[in-house]
Amino acid sequence: MQSTNFIKGALAFIAANIAAIFGAWSELLTVLVVIISIDIITGILAAFVEKTLSSRIGRRGIAGKLMIFLLVAAGHFADVAIGTVDTSLIRNAVIFFYLATELLSIIENAGRIGLPVPKALQQAIEIFQSKSEMSEDEDRP
């Protein structure tokens, strides 16, 4: 019984800290987590197919993914600082930028594996890129 309460308390602590770091959890954050996970998996598969698996390269890739989440957190704190936390303007712009980047990486990985890339996926990437560019333009004076 006490271990269950400890686990519940630990999960509540983790959830509260995630909310403090990233702001309110949104579907966009969920999409980012899923797309990053897919990129990691497809990167591993492509390296396996090419026979270039390397723990050193893998660690560098994981470090890059962690950096994305740090930049999303920085975007949230920038929203807090300038008063756009209700709309998550900067955080969402950062997320859209990295969604486009990660989707491009997934497509590259698919090509490395030898798979054709569906037109619908290419169009989705173009939408993410245009939203990212629009957000960047809105942030400029």
| 7 within some domain | no
| 10 within some domain | no
Whole domain around residue 134: which residue ranges?
24-139
Contact 43, 62 (CB under 8 A): no
Rounded distance, CA 30 to CA 22, Å? 12
Rounded distance, CA 128 to CA 135, Å? 11
Whether this model's pTM surpasses 0.85: no
pLDDT value of position 56: 87
75: its two tokens: 């975007």
Rounded distance, CA 119 to CA 122, Å? 5
Single-letter amino acid code for the residue at 136: E
Structurally, the chain folds into a number of domains equal to 1
pLDDT value of position 9: 85
> pLDDT tens-digit profile of 36-77?
999 999 999 999 999 998 888 888 999 999 999 999 999 999
| 15 within some domain | no
**CB contact burial 55-86 (16+ within 10 A = b; e otherwise):** eeeeeebeeebeebbeebbebbbbbeeeeebe
| 2 within some domain | no
pLDDT value of position 100: 87
| 73 within some domain | yes
